[in-house]
Structure 1
Amino acid sequence: MKAVIFDLDGVLVDSEPFHAETLLSLAGELEIPLSLEDTRRFIGVSDEEMWSILIHEHRLGGDLSAKVLAERQAQRSLDRLSVKPLSPRDGVPELLTELRSLGVATGVASSSATAYVDRVLSTAGLSLYFNVRVAGDQVQNCKPDPEPYRTALERMGIPAGWAAAIEDSPPGIESAKRAGLFCFALKTSGSQAEGVLKPDVVIKDFSQRERSRILYLLDSERVPDGIFQRRVKAHKS
């Protein structure tokens, strides 16, 4: 494998509680009754699509559009990041360093806006690992459409067959698989829902044991697929 493309929220950083708090705050101002559990169904969904759903479900009128509310939430997230920066998940910096030492390129494919992606990577100390970043406002179609991953691959100059994705949500997994990437799924509290397409391998975290497992599976110069698939089978448990 020559490249690994990471999802941002939930994978590189544990940002789901952060997003839930921001959403609940804005929903409360709009008198939308949402619980913390309600927010979980929007994991992996772009903010604009989420607000489109909420506007329809709660029959919000006036001049409130999904785009306006998504922009309002994005700005609120940026404001909060200034006082409450997000940290990388344990093991993420080590994995990125290991991939770089092996000559494996790394990129980001996110449904969040460019300003948010750049701010999170900067405050988490991860910017230097990601020259290629694809954000939700840079594509016509967000996840689960394959466009974010296809765009990242195009910018990296690497065919899908030589790349892997690390995702945590059903929309993200579907996006990566439809783009032709091998897909690792990080098992998180918000990733329990079944998606249309299943990942190739599930990982529990980025501990040394799991990082070694990832690197072993990536250590392939595209030898015949049968050999690579036997490696995957041997490491699924």
Structure 2
Amino acid sequence: MLKALIFDMDGTLVHSDPVHLEAFAEVLKAEGVDITEEVYRSQIIGRTNEAIFASLLPHLPVERHETYADEKEATFRRMASDLKPLDGLLELLDWAEARHIQIALVTNAPRLNADHMLEALGLAGRFKVEITIEEVERGKPDPLPYLTALERLGIRAEEAIAFEDSPSGMRAAKAAGLFSFGVLTGLTAGEMREIGADGAIVTFHDRALWEILEHRIAS
């Protein structure tokens, strides 16, 4: 029986990756780091800031990584003022709430970003459980963020469906035992399936999603 839907945030609730790319590019240009689409896809998407800055600025101490991370997130929040939910998201949340299916958020983003984005998207207060990077010892791709969400929801993995857009997020969801959809805002369906996705959708209107939802609530 389906009891919860668990969502990543960036690239899943909203196609925010272009704004993140722009923020990284602005902050790191002083270090001579060129943030291209390929760099973003291979070294940034879905990873923690700790891992990102260690990879992009290996010659700098951790303290400088943390400073750049804070600056990047502040820059992102300044830029991210006109966000729109991914097509079909609001209808899916309404559908879930009407059936008493719980809704949760699991993100590697900091709490300040989560609060800013949920407010901008008109989603503040809609998630029963919100797991941000500060609340767990290890972020994705470790399964701990998802395991923590399942514990707080009071359900088993087989009673939930996860939605992810990145390799690290998908690996975390699958390692936690969740049936997971890859949201194709950054990767292809083939790439998503290679890292374990059970299905792939372009928007939350996709028939592939609704066939699974209808089957799960009928079970």
- Same fold flag (TM > 0.5): yes
What is the CA-CA distance between 1:129 and the residue it aligns to?
A: 1.8
Equivalent residue for 1:55, pick from 57, 66, 87: 57
For the pair shown, the structure with the greater C-alpha radius of gyration is 1
Distance 2:133 2:104 in 1: 14
Deviation digits for residues 34-87 of structure 1, max 9, x if unmatched? 32332122211112210111112xx346x8532222122112222223xx2311
Whether 1:212 and 2:210 are equivalent positions in the alignment is: yes
Report the equivalent of 1:15: 16
| Structure 2 residue identity aligned to 1:55 | L
User: Which protein, 1 or 2, shows the higher relative CO under an 8 Å CA cutoff with sep ≥ 6?
Assistant: 2
Q: Secondary structure at the match of 1:121?
A: helix
Report the equivalent of 1:26: 27
Equivalent residue for 1:98, pick from 91, 95, 100: 95
8 Å CA contact retained: 2:102, 2:128: no
Distance 1:172 1:217 in 2: 25
8 Å CA contact retained: 1:6, 1:165: yes
8 Å CA contact retained: 1:55, 1:66: yes
Percent of aligned pairs sharing the same letter: 32
Structure 2 portions without partners, runs of 5+? none
Deviation digits for residues 150-206 of structure 1, max 9, x if unmatched? 111111111212111011111111101111111111122345646874111222322
Q: Secondary structure at the match of 1:48?
A: helix
Distance 2:30 2:122 in 1: 33
Instruction: State TM-score, norm by structure 2.
Output: 0.90
Equivalent residue for 1:183, pick from 180, 185, 188: 180
Report the equivalent of 2:64: 65
Count of residues paired in the alignment: 216
Equivalent residue for 2:123, pick from 126, 133, 137: 126
Alignment CA distance shift 1:65-1:193 (3 Å) = farther
Distance 2:218 2:50 in 1: 38
Distance 1:207 1:196 in 2: 23
Instruction: State TM-score, norm by structure 1.
Output: 0.83
Alignment CA distance shift 1:215-1:166 (3 Å) = same
Structure 1 portions without partners, runs of 5+? 222-237
Q: Report the RMSD for the aligned CA atoms in angstroms.
A: 2.1
